[in-house]
Structures are given as C-alpha cells and as structure tokens.
Chains A and B, each alone.
Chain A
Amino acid sequence: QQQVKQSPQSLIVQKGGISIINCAYENTAFDYFPWYQQFPGKGPALLIAIRPDVSEKKEGRFTISFNKSAKQFSLHIMDSQPGDSATYFCAASYRGGADGLTFGKGTHLIIQP
C-alpha cells in the first residue's frame, strides 16, 4: 500500500522554466510534508517543508502548494537552473517525522541549458 504517490517519475524542463512535481497522500493523520533533494552519490537533503495549517510556503525559488481537501501537495521550482538537476522526493509523516517519513518514489529532474 503506497501512502504517498509522486508524479511524474521523470521531468525535463528548459533552463528558466518552471518545474512542477506533484504528490498525493492517503492518510489524513499526516501532519508534516517535506521535500528532499538528492544529488548522485549523496544522501537526500531537506529542501522545504510545510504543515497542513498553511496552503503555501515559499523559500527562494522553491514553493510548496498544499491542498488539504484534495490531499495533494506540489513542489514548484521557479526559474529552473541546471544545478537543480537532481532527484526530488516528497514525504509525509505524523508527529513532525518522529516516527519516520513515508517517501514518494522520487522524480528525476533534468534542467536543459
């Protein structure tokens, strides 16, 4: 049973464009929704996170949009750059992640120069 569904599996975006990755969750008890960025040979690194009491959070070029009624959240990368090329994972958890994160399967993002 996959509790967090992520799409697309892979994405190619031109430099300067907007990259959009979507996730849907099933468990309404989830209260913490982070996004992680992973470069080859490295562990995932926290990019940005949101809690369900807000509908949007922005940090620099990265924005999370959250739709509680639809049980969906998405990552938007504005002005995408070649250095953003990486694998992105959405995740969800209870208690802020103390019991572990449930991850989506990942999106391989390529930004073409």
Chain B
Amino acid sequence: DVKVTQSSRYLVKRTGEKVFLECVQDMDHENMFWYRQDPGLGLRLIYFSYDVKMKEKGDIPEGYSVSREKKERFSLILESASTNQTSMYLCASRPQGDGGYTFGSGTRLTVV
C-alpha cells in the first residue's frame, strides 16, 4: 500500500525553537508539497519541490524553509517557531506528468 508518512502526529514546541517536520513517500514520486490547514482557511501551499535539491515557494513561504536531499524525503523547517505557526501541516506527493496528490495524515503542531 503506497503511502506518505509524516514522522510526528503531534508536536508541541516553544516559541523561538527551530522545528523540523519530516515527510517520506514510498511511491518514487518526483513532486512533493507542504501545506498547512487551518479551520475556515482550507489548505494553503507553503513550499513544493519538483525533484531532489529543487524547491519553489508556494503562497505562504514566510517563516518556513525546506530541504530535499533525497527523492523520497521532503522536510519542512520552521527557523524560529512562532505561535501563529500553530497549525496542521500536511505533506503530499505526486508523480511527474499527471496524477492526483497522495497526502500524509498530517502533523498537528502547537507552538507555545
């Protein structure tokens, strides 16, 4: 069963901490994405990647960075966590050419 796995289901971090959210896919997909989901706002694109070492800004990249050193792994980094980054973070992957997204189950991050 193909899947996208997010390493943590729940995280609680303190303001100012550097936070790493990890995502691994086992489908050999080229494209990977990070979204955040907030009530009433839907899903908003933070960053995405076409392939290894590549990254592109989405709609709300401020305060975030990403890393893609291997094809199967896409990491989201909060350089200095703030309370307004408390959210559900969703990782997704997609094959090159065409096809729907496969999402992970999400990481609920609380910044206190």
Q: Tell me the A residues contacting B by CB distance below 8 Å.
A: 6, 9, 34, 36, 41-46, 49, 89, 96-106
| Segment with Cβ contacts to A, from B13-21, B35-43, B76-84 | B35-43
Instruction: Determine if A43 and B4 form an interchain contact, defined as CB atoms under 8 angstroms apart.
Output: yes
Contacting residues, chain B, for A98 (C-beta < 8 A): 31, 50, 94, 96
**Could you list some 28 contacts between A and B, CB below 8 A?**
A6-B42, A9-B40, A34-B100, A41-B105, A42-B105, A42-B106, A43-B103, A43-B104, A43-B106, A44-B43, A44-B101, A46-B101, A89-B42, A96-B97, A96-B98, A96-B99, A97-B31, A97-B94, A98-B94, A98-B96, A99-B48, A99-B56, A100-B45, A100-B58, A101-B45, A102-B45, A105-B41, A105-B42
Instruction: Determine if B33 and A100 form an interchain contact, defined as CB atoms under 8 angstroms apart.
Output: yes
B25 to chain A, nearest CB (A): 12
A9 to chain B, nearest CB (A): 8
A/B pair count, beta carbons within 8 Å: 59
Q: Does B92 contact A (CB under 8 A)?
A: yes
Docked complex Cα distance between A42 and B4 (Å): 12
Count chain B CB atoms within 10 A of each CB in A9, A45, A98, A102 and give the residue with the most. A98
B100 to chain A, nearest CB (A): 4
As a 0/1 sequence over residues 63 to 92 of chain B, the CB contacts with chain A under 8 angstroms (1 = contact) are 000000000000000000000000000101
Docked complex Cα distance between A101 and B45 (Å): 8
- Beyond A45-B103, A96-B98, 5 additional pairs, beta carbon < 8 A: A6-B42, A43-B92, A44-B103, A103-B42, A103-B43
